[in-house]
Structure formats: C-alpha cells, structure tokens
Structure 1
Amino acid sequence: MPREFPIGLTPPDWLVRNLRAQPAPVNRPAVIRAAIAIPLPLAIGLATGRPEYGALAAMGALNGVISDTAAAYRIRIPTIAVPQLFSAVGITLGALVYGHGWVAVAAVTGVALVSGMISTIGAVASVSGLLLLLTCVVGAGLPMPGEWWHAPLLMSGGGLLVLLLGLLAWPLRMGVPERSAVADTYRAVADLLAACAVGSTQAYDDARHAVTQSLNQAYDTVLAHRARHHGRSPELTRLLAQLNAITPVVEAAPAAHLSGTPLPPEIPQSVRHLASAVETGCTGPTGLELPAPTTEAARAVDHALRHTAEVVATPDVDPRGIDDRLGRPAALSIRTARALRDVTLSAASWRYGLRLALCIGLAQALVSLIPVPRSYWVALTITFVLKPDFGSVFSRALLRAAGTVAGLVIAAAVLAQVPRGWADVPTLILLAPLIPAFTPRGYGYQTAAITPVILLLSDVLNREGTALLLPRLVDSLLGCAIALVAGYLLWPESWHTRVGDRLADAVDDTARYVEGAFGPHPVDPPARARMRRRLYRNLSAIRTEFQRALTEPPPTGRRAAAWWPLVVAVERIVDATTAARVRVKHGATPPSESEATQVAVQLRELATGVREAETPYAVRTDLTGPADSVLEPLRQEVAAARAITSPHEES
C-alpha cells in the first residue's frame, strides 16, 4: 500500500505549485547557440591575453541568450538587438558612477524607475528594461577594465554574436517558423474538434485554452512588422489569410460541443491534413472527403472547414480584406507615441517603476552604509525577483533562493575542481546550454542554470575562486528579503486590484460581445471576430495572472482559488454566445433583442459585483426566455457564473 503522510506534513498547495517543473520542449537551436556564443568570447580573450575582455563579452552573450526567445527570424532581430542597446547604455551609466557613493545610489535608483516603467510596454521593452538595470548595477558595482567605451562595446558584441548565430539559417529556413506556428494552430483546432466528440467539458475547456494560446502565438509571430511588410510579402499574406480562415472553424466548435452530438473523426483528421499542407507550403486541391452534415452545428463546421480548405489550396491571396478581421496596423510613429503616452500616464506603470526603484534604492543605500564585498549581487537579485511583469514576487523570491542554492552547489564543484584558464571554455560549453534548456521549466530552474555561469565569468574578472560562494549566497538571501518586505509585504497593491478588476473588465467586454451579436445594434462579422479574439486574448492573460496568484500563500492564493471558477465560467459564456451566433447563421431562429439585453444587464451586474467584492458571493439570477431559444445555453452559463459562491457564504 502506498505510504500516506499525516495531514500536517502535507506541503501547502502554493508551495507545490511553485516547485513543480513546467513541461516544455527543449529548444535545440537555442541550446546550440548558447553552447557557442558564451564560451567563444572567453576563448578569444584567453587567446589574445585579455581574459577579462573575453569575460565581459561572454556576459553580453549571456544577455543575448536570455533575450533569445523568438522563433521567427524577423522577430529575432529586434528581440535580441534592441535589448543590447539598452544593455550598452546601462553598463555605461553604471561605470560612470562607479565609486561615487550616494551619486551611484541615486543613479541606479533612477535607472530602476525607468526600467520598471518601460517594462509595461511589451515583451521586447521588458527584456530591454531588465538588461538596462542589470548592466547598470554591474557597472556601478564592479570596476570595468580598459577605457569607458570598452565595456559597452564588448557586452554589445557578445549579445550580437547570439543574434548572428540565430540568423545563420535564415536564408535556408525563411518562413519556416511562421508556417510552423500557423500549422500548430491548425493542429490545436483539430484537437479542439476531437474534444467536442469526447463529451468531457474539462477536456474541451483545456483544448479551447490551448487554441487561444496557439492563436495568440501564431498572430504574434506572423504579424511582426506587419505595418512594414503587409501587402508586399505574398507569403505573409497567405499565412494571414490561413489564420483568418481557421477562425470560423474555431467559432463553430462551441456550437458542435453544445449540441451534444459527436463530430465524425474525419473532421479533426481533415484539419490535421490541412495543417500539414500549411507547414509544407503546398497549394492545390486538398483532397478532403467530409461526411454529409446532419445538424446545424455540423453544417457550421462543414461550411467553415470547406472555406478553410479553399484558402489553404489557393496559391495567391488578395491582400485586400486581410485587415477586416485584424484591424489595420498603426504606423510605427503612432505606436511609439502611444507607448510613451501609456508609460508616462499609466498608474500601473508608475506603480511598477516606483516599487522597483524603492527596493533597488534600499539595496544600494544598505550596501553603501554596510561594507559588503561585491555588493552589486544584492541589487542583481532584486532586479530578477522584482521584475514586475515576470510573475509573483513571492514566488520568484522563493525560487530565487532555492535556485541560487542549487546553482552554488554546481559552482562550488566547478570553482574547486576546474583550474582557471582554458579549462573554463569546455566548462562553459557544458554549462551554457543548460540556460535555454532549463528556462522554460521555471524561474528556479533558470536561476540554478544561470548562477554557475555568471559566477565563473565573475571569477575571471575578480579571481576570488570559492571565496565568493558564501558572500553570493548571503547577498542573494538579502536581496530576496528586501524584495519580499519592501516590494511585496509593504506595497499597497491588493490582489483584487491586480486580478479582480481585470476579470470585471472582461465580464463587461463579454456583455458588449453579447450585445454586438444579438443586441439592438449588432456589429458586422469582422468586428465580432475582433471582439471575440480580443476577449479570448484578455481571458488568456487573466488565466496567467490567476495561475501566478495561486502560487502565493494565503490570503492571495486562497482568493485566487475562490475566483478561479468564474474565469472558466466567463470563457464558457463567450463560447455559448459564439455558438448561438453560429446556429442562427445556419438556420436557427434568431432570439429577440430583449433576450440579449437581459443577458447583457446580468453580466454588467456581475462585473460590478466582482469589482466590489474580495470573495465571490451568490447573486440573483433572473433570466427567463423560451426554452428552445438559441440563447438558452447562454442563459444557463450566465446563471452558473452568477451562482458561484464563496466557501464561507451562508446557506
């Protein structure tokens, strides 16, 4: 019999969630790039008699490896190159204030404020802000070798080496990542249609969430630089058309799921066949053999799938109309102006920046008052832990401490057994690939992989050997403590503001979606498609935020768990609305406008309740209408959402 542990010894759920490794495939090209880009600069430095220069360039390559997250080649250029520019600025500013006492404290604190604020713009800006602060802290804490311009030049060169290695295969693999992203979306849709036949609501919900994530990733990959390329790249136009063409199939899936009639297995098999055609770039007849539909839902799926097959088979796509479902892209200058406006006017942007600046300022002031060897490590720890858009501060502090301990064990073995010099190169060849391999597994695993690499490179600069291990552990724990106290426990930011208000906004958007589909002033199909895509993208982001909150201890984790069923319920409401619209399109009787208005009113009341309550509470459900109406499943989902109660509610 399996051994049972006493209830008191069972680890809390939030701790288990934090320590569990995330399943993720290994990015083999990124692993190979890391194995070359980080050791190579050090080898060149050793060969030329300037190992300290090689170590600086290798640190820049490490920054490039951290930035190397994009699949599409044209996305890879700004994703890696732009952060290197900020890295050069950061190391220059840090080096200029090195040894200047409180001037250095003020300068690094100001850079922390800017870093936190620009992190809210987007993924590239987030990594740029991270490297800006990291390199500024290093420059302010370590004496840089050579002239003032050597360090930024060497670190930028190391990062650009990663970019160069990442672009080597572009002439041979041009368009392959984009086609793979679209094909993966088709396969996710095939899994969704297969889940319609299983009869399991949980399996369908999981498959629908996977489709949302895949669509988000595919659109982000294909639409990179759309304002510059759109209308001039036939390949890009085809991929956009193919992504748009799968949308009606996704919209028809809820109708098939709610119908209760399993789809024939030929349906998901046909979608997988189309996915193969997309991935290989084949055009021409697809040879699909679809069974004759017998229900409204089956007719909707059949009609949508045949349209998708036509688009996949078409070699030349008219670029006009592609924007109908996506919205027209704004010019680069307009997007930049909007981003700057959002950064300077957003309360969240200032809140993130001030929180990061407060903690960095405290760390810099502390190490200025108390002599701490290599004090920059305290601020480095805070930078990684308190990066506001990277997840739960509590979780990252916990995982940072655990990952640092694991990384120091590896570093101790390396520094004690491996002689300094050329032996460092094969050691880095073995250690560097662990960074991209472990990063998708979780922050603790990433920390454990980065720690020995950065300590080995630091040892090349300061030659302290194993003597730096214990101070690094103390510095890391001190940084985690500052982040937890000043950036988490004392910061006036409630769970409800971070998560509850975003969920309430999504419920309000759902009410507008219902009115846009069936209200007195319905919107056209392309606008409806944009509303649905925006809703699902927002709900996907809310899911991610909830999962972060679930890793925090009570009361935050408990509140997130209490509200979690409502997130699922809102997704099902969106599905039910889409299913009803599809049924009407394929022959069902349209509902009255009053039915849709009634549902929208109930949703807005629910949104108000979410904004005002810290825990879920039961609310009245006053939804009536014909039992045979296409909106009956929607009314049931809204009633279920409004009936979600707190565990402490009186019966």
Structure 2
Amino acid sequence: MSWLRALKASARSGLKVERARLEPLIAVRAAAGLAIVVGAGLLLFGPGAAASSAFGAFQAAIATFQRSWRPRPVLALASGVTLAVSTFVGYLVGSSHATAFLVLLALWTFLSGMAWAAGPTAGIIASGNVAIMLVTVTLPTSVAQAAGHAAMIAAGGVVQAALIVLFPVRRWGAQREALADALAAEADYARRLRHDPEASFDPGPLMTARAAATVTPRQARRRPAELHGARGLAERIRPVLASLADPAVGAPAEGPARERVRELLSAAASVLDVAAGAIRHGEPVRPPGPALAVLKSPDTAEVLDGPALRAARRLAALLEDVLETAAPGSGRTADPGESKLRPTLPALMPLVLRAVRTELRPASPVFRHAVRVSAVATAGYLIGHALPFGHAYWAPMASVMVMRPDFSQTYSRAVARFGGTLLGVAAATAIVQVAHPGVYLSGALAVISAGLMYALMRTGYAVSQVFVSAYVVFLLGMGGTRWDQTVPDRVGLTLVGGLLAMIGYALYPAWETPRLRTRLADWLAADGRYAAAVLRQYADPAGARRADVREALLAVRDARVAWQEAVDRAAGEPVRHRGLSRAAADDAGDALAALGRNAMLLEAHLPDRAHPPVPAAAELAEALRAATEAGARAVRERRVPEWGVVRGVVTGWEVPGSAVLRNGAELLLAALDELSDALRP
C-alpha cells in the first residue's frame, strides 16, 4: 500500500462512527461521580481544586471503561492514585526548574509507553495519566496547594470506585456477555457445518471467555454458578461438532447419515442459542423440546455408526450438561481453589516488571513506541513553548493521547483527535458566547459533556473527542479562563501534536509487515506441537498427560490470533514485504488453520485410558514435531519447508483398525503440503 492510500485509509478509519451498544446507566454513574467531585470541590476549596479533582474523577471513570476483566473499582483507584502521584511529582520538579521537568516528562512518557508491555489497559491508563498530568501541574501555585490538588485527584478516583461498589450496573455483565458470545459462536459454527463440513472457526470468543473466567480470589467466592463450568463444556463441544460434520472422520458426505448429521447440528445450534440467552440475561433456561428430541432420538444408532455415532452421543451428553450448568442458581458457587485466579495488583508487579524487561530491546514494538512517544512529547513541549500560544502543554498532550504502538491506530487517532477537537471547541465556544455561563453553570456543562463522552465512547475516537474538547473548555472556563484564551491555543497545538505523532512514527516506525514470516513460523511450530501432543495420547493412552494437549491448544490459539492481528495491521501499512505477498499470506494462513483443525479432529476421538497403545503414533508425533520446528526455521529464512520425513512415516504407516488415526495423519500431511505450495514462488 502506498503512503497516500495508507493515509486516506487511516483518515477514514479515524473519522468513522461505529454502531455500538450504548451503556447509559454506566455513563450516568460515571457522570454522577464527576458531578459529586466538582460540586464538592467548588463548595469547599474553590475552582482550582475543583478542576484538579474533576480531572482525577474524569480519568478514573475512563479507566473503568477499558476492556479489562479486573474489578472496575480497582481500575478507578489505580488511575486516581497514579495520576495524583504524577501531578504532585510533576509540580515539585516543574516549579523549581524547567529543564528538570522536561527530563521528567521524557522519563514519564517513556514509562507510559513501556506500560503497554503489561497490556492495552495498562498502556491506555498510563498514557491518559501522563497527558492529564500536563494540565494538572499548571493549576497549583505552591507545594501545599500541589499536595492538596493531588489529594483531590486521588479523591476523584475514590469517589468513582465507591459509586461502582454502591451502585453496580449489571454485575458480572461483562463475564456473562463473554461466555454467551462463546456459546453463540459455537451455535453459528454448528449451523455453518451443516452446509460446509470443513467450515473454519474463529477461536476469539473462546479466548475472550477464558480471559473473563480468570478472576480474583474475591470474585471467585461470589461468581454465579452459571458462569462456572459452561466455558469448559464449550471448549469440549467444538471438536465434537467438527468431527461429527467432517466426512473424513464422521458420516459420509451424502446419504441418510449426512441428513441425520445435519439435523443433529441444527439441534445443537438451537440448544447452544438457548443456553447463551439464559446466561446473557441471567434468566431460567427454557429447554428446546424438539431439539432435545433430535439429540436423544434412538433412531440415530440405526443411521450412524463408528466415530460418527460416538460423536453424536458425546454431543448430546455435553449439550445436556450445558443446559444444566446454564440454569441460574442450579449449581454451586465455585470454590476459589477450582478457579483460574488473577493475581492481585501487588502480586502483579513482578509480572509487569518481567514483561517490561522482556520488551527492553531495540526490535520490540513496545520499546520503539516508548522511545517514540518520549521524543515526540518532549519535542512537542518545546515547540509549544516556542510558538506564540499559551497552554503549551496541549501539543505534547495531544501526541501522548494519539500515539499507539502500531501505525494505523496512531494515524487514525491523530486525524480523529484534530477533527473532534475542532468540532468540540466550536460547539463549546458557541455555547459560551450565547449563555455566558458562570462558575457553577460551567461546571454543570463540563459534567454533561463528560457524561455524553462516556455514553458515546464506543462509537469512535472522533466522537469522544468532540465531547472531551467541550469538557476541557467548560472546565477551564469554570476556573476563570476565557474561551478566547483557550480555543485558538487548543486547536493550533492539537494540530501540532497530531502532526508530531505522525512524523515520529514515520521516522522511527515499528512495521508489522516485515515480521509476518516470524508470526507465521510461530503458528506453524505451535500447530506442530499441538498435533504431536494429540498423537502421543494415541501412542500411550494410559501414561500421556491430557494437560499437554490443552496447553498446546492454547498456544496454537495465541499464535493464530497474533498472526491474524499482524496481518490486519500490515494491511494498512505503507510498506511491502518482498518475501510474502498478500495472497501467499492468505493461503498460508488457511493451510495452518486446516492443520490445527485436523489435529482437533484427532483430539475429538482420543482413546480412553484403557485403550491399547498405538506405538506408530509416537513415531509420527516425533517426526511431526521435528519437521514443523525445522519448517518454522525455513519460513523465517524465506525458504520453502519440506516434509519428507513426515511423508515417509505416513506412507509406510500400518495402523490396523484405526481409520480415524490413519485418515487424520493423511489430513495433517495434506495441510503441510498446502503450506509449502502457498510459500513456493
């Protein structure tokens, strides 16, 4: 993609308005917290302290809207406390020496950039705190006032956290949505399998549900029973659906058996939809009688046989368990010892430090982002002071808020921020000129603007910036700053900050396109380990660890998602990968998806512990593991991988009485050959 096309695509993406489900009650709660803080600050301490506390409550509420499974009060408290510390330290340094503050700004922004190593939520909160710190350090006029302002900022976070505890909105709603989405995705998968027995399945909803099921010890003691257990059943249903539908290991492609399979898949979809709806809304399960009758029909044994019949019976049992688990109050609350526990914030710090150390290398996108945002913020601060505007902090603030570790988000957010700022300050200026609001009315208008921003945050960055800009104009007006002292400065310096962010990425990029082969190689190696783990279960049913298969499957999902995200990011970058065309990347991705799917089909028919061992499976497992590791090295080195060793094992393979294993081995080899064909010039 050329630079011109990339810039056009980024601009369109930044200005796009999404249709998203709104959460008005949560927005009202966040705005109410902001109103309490602003009102108390005005009554007790005056406009300056009220503005500081308002920024703290505003940012704390934004933190609670991030896509995180950690308890929302914890996010609000963490945001408020870290912003308070940043403000106090920033004032102490900035009030004594401008150069020292510049050094602190560079360090602070570098650390905020490295916070992305801990995940997007930490990175977004850290970036927002640094940006708002640039404003709040200008409000106090003494050390005592700075301490008071920092305390008010922290109080803003405490108020938002307290409101979340006292007035919960859809408690466990996010976890319910994640689990329901996973079940609904499997229902859609079952319907697609009726028409396409080799349909692909996006593991994203299952991965999200798994992340949502990771809870703190306190959450584990309070989690509703219907949110404990259904996800594990959903994980086990997916391979059963695939094995039932696939002609290679299930029913024939045509005939009465195929028709019965289609009926079973349709019934499974109905049951999964009912369970998803019950979990999503916390309502009683209304079992679909006709669907259950199809699943339990005794005629199935007369139409299906062998692996297909076993899959049908297993599917019926699993779906019955899903309906039982999804019923609210029908089971027990999870024991914390049985849950997958999320570390507390103190316990999380060593993990974060380890992740940061891992990213401290020149090739890391996170490290390059940290260096880039630090340099751009420092340059923006200097340029802001050199230009004939006031409020020089708006240039670095805009840069910090729009910069992200990847190209598309940085450029689209820069365009969206400037467009949103232009509309927001224009609307706020018109209101100020018509209404001439005083201190309290300005505070009320600021709260209303923030509430609208919270409500419409999911619709796009440009929309949220319209209300953020109006919020800042009204808030600073509450502190006595006239509109004509803020509007020209904010518009001009926002443009400067956005341009600096875009120039910074162009000069010191972290392109995803050159790393596509590495991502593909990682996925190939993970697929090979997963297939080998499954085959070892056949080789030694009594002694092999079933947990190995699960761990390998999770690694495959992570590698697949990393590859897909890399492909999506690379599609918008103005660079080309000479060793991997877009068509080759698509074909290679399809081949590896087929490889993982074929291994999953074998997993669906794993033998029980009493089944006799199949020694030949161990030979194939070792050959496959070694070949995929060598193939991954070949992919990284821009060579075409070869599968001679695997072909030799499969060609001379003799596995009497195991059609599933024999067919599965041939399917694995066919997928590897498709990968080589995709990468062959």
Q: Does structure 2 conserve the Cα–Cα contact (< 8 Å) formed by 1:23 and 1:441? A: yes
Aligned equivalents of 2:466, 2:517: Cα separation in 1: 33
Q: Which segment drifts farther, 448-457 or 255-264?
A: 255-264
Q: Does structure 1 conserve the Cα–Cα contact (< 8 Å) formed by 2:20 and 2:458? A: yes
Residue in structure 2 matched with residue 197 of structure 1 by the alignment: 194
* One of 214, 221, 246 as aligned partner of 1:223: 214
Residue in structure 1 matched with residue 670 of structure 2 by the alignment: 636
* One of 411, 415, 418 as aligned partner of 1:401: 418
Calculate the aligned-residue CA RMSD, in Å.
4.0
Q: Give the counterpart letter for 1:313 in structure 2.
A: E
Q: How does 1:25-424 map to 2 (within 5 A)?
A: 25-46=21-42, 50-69=46-65, 75-99=71-95, 100-143=97-140, 147-170=145-168, 174-175=171-172, 177-199=174-196, 204-205=199-200, 208-209=201-202, 212-226=203-217, 230=220, 233=221, 235=223, 239-259=227-247, 261=258, 263-264=262-263, 265-278=266-279, 280=282, 288-289=292-293, 290-292=295-297, 293=300, 294=304, 296-297=307-308, 299-300=310-311, 302-310=313-321, 313=324, 315-316=330-331, 335-347=348-360, 348=364, 349-370=366-387, 372-388=389-405, 392-421=409-438, 422-424=440-442
Q: Give the counterpart letter for 1:24 in structure 2.
A: A
Residue in structure 2 matched with residue 4 of structure 1 by the alignment: none
Aligned equivalents of 1:164, 1:332: Cα separation in 2: 18
Aligned equivalents of 2:577, 2:473: Cα separation in 1: 35
Deviations 1:525-565 (A, max 9, x none): 33312321332244234433433333333448997955355
Q: How does 1:530-609 map to 2 (within 5 A)?
A: 530-555=551-576, 561=582, 563-583=585-605, 585=607, 592-597=617-622, 599-601=624-626, 603-609=628-634
Deviations 1:134-172 (A, max 9, x none): 2332244555687122222222222333323322344x9
Aligned equivalents of 2:517, 2:523: Cα separation in 1: 10
Task: Classify 1:409/1:499 alpha carbon distance in 2 versus 1 (closer, same or farther; 3 Å).
Answer: farther
Residue in structure 2 matched with residue 3 of structure 1 by the alignment: none
**What SS does structure 2 have at the residue aligned with 1:463?**
coil
Q: Which segment drifts farther, 83-92 or 19-28?
A: 19-28
* One of 20, 44, 48 as aligned partner of 1:24: 20
Q: Does structure 2 conserve the Cα–Cα contact (< 8 Å) formed by 1:116 and 1:353? A: yes
Q: Does structure 2 conserve the Cα–Cα contact (< 8 Å) formed by 1:392 and 1:552? A: no
Task: Classify 1:382/1:196 alpha carbon distance in 2 versus 1 (closer, same or farther; 3 Å).
Answer: same
Aligned equivalents of 1:454, 1:448: Cα separation in 2: 10
Normalised to the residue count of structure 2, the TM-score between the two structures is 0.79
**What SS does structure 2 have at the residue aligned with 1:493?**
coil
Residue in structure 2 matched with residue 445 of structure 1 by the alignment: 463
Task: Classify 1:65/1:200 alpha carbon distance in 2 versus 1 (closer, same or farther; 3 Å).
Answer: farther
**What SS does structure 2 have at the residue aligned with 1:581?**
helix
Residue in structure 1 matched with residue 250 of structure 2 by the alignment: none
Q: Give the counterpart letter for 1:493 in structure 2.
A: A
Deviation of residue 517 (structure 1)? 1.2
Residue in structure 2 matched with residue 489 of structure 1 by the alignment: 506
Identity rate of aligned residues, in percent? 18
Task: Classify 1:32/1:213 alpha carbon distance in 2 versus 1 (closer, same or farther; 3 Å).
Answer: farther
Q: Give the counterpart letter for 2:522 in structure 1.
A: D
Aligned equivalents of 1:107, 1:457: Cα separation in 2: 26
Q: Give the counterpart letter for 2:20 in structure 1.
A: A
Aligned equivalents of 1:309, 1:431: Cα separation in 2: 49
Deviation of residue 460 (structure 1)? 2.5
Between structure 1 and structure 2, the one with the greater Rg is: 2
**What SS does structure 1 have at the residue aligned with 2:474?**
helix
**What SS does structure 2 have at the residue aligned with 1:644?**
helix
Task: Classify 1:610/1:333 alpha carbon distance in 2 versus 1 (closer, same or farther; 3 Å).
Answer: farther
Deviations 1:59-78 (A, max 9, x none): 22220221122689971122
Aligned equivalents of 1:331, 1:13: Cα separation in 2: 41
Residue in structure 2 matched with residue 5 of structure 1 by the alignment: none
Q: Which segment drifts farther, 404-413 or 190-199?
A: 404-413
Aligned equivalents of 1:467, 1:369: Cα separation in 2: 17
Deviation of residue 38 (structure 1)? 3.2
Aligned equivalents of 1:428, 1:34: Cα separation in 2: 13
Deviation of residue 122 (structure 1)? 2.9
Task: Classify 1:576/1:413 alpha carbon distance in 2 versus 1 (closer, same or farther; 3 Å).
Answer: farther
**What SS does structure 1 have at the residue aligned with 2:145?**
coil
Q: Does structure 1 conserve the Cα–Cα contact (< 8 Å) formed by 2:33 and 2:160? A: yes
Deviation of residue 187 (structure 1)? 2.2
Deviation of residue 298 (structure 1)? 6.3
Q: Give the counterpart letter for 1:241 in structure 2.
A: G
Q: Does structure 1 conserve the Cα–Cα contact (< 8 Å) formed by 2:425 and 2:470? A: yes
Deviations 1:242-300 (A, max 9, x none): 21122110222332453365532211111223334545375999974315553635642
Aligned equivalents of 2:515, 2:628: Cα separation in 1: 21
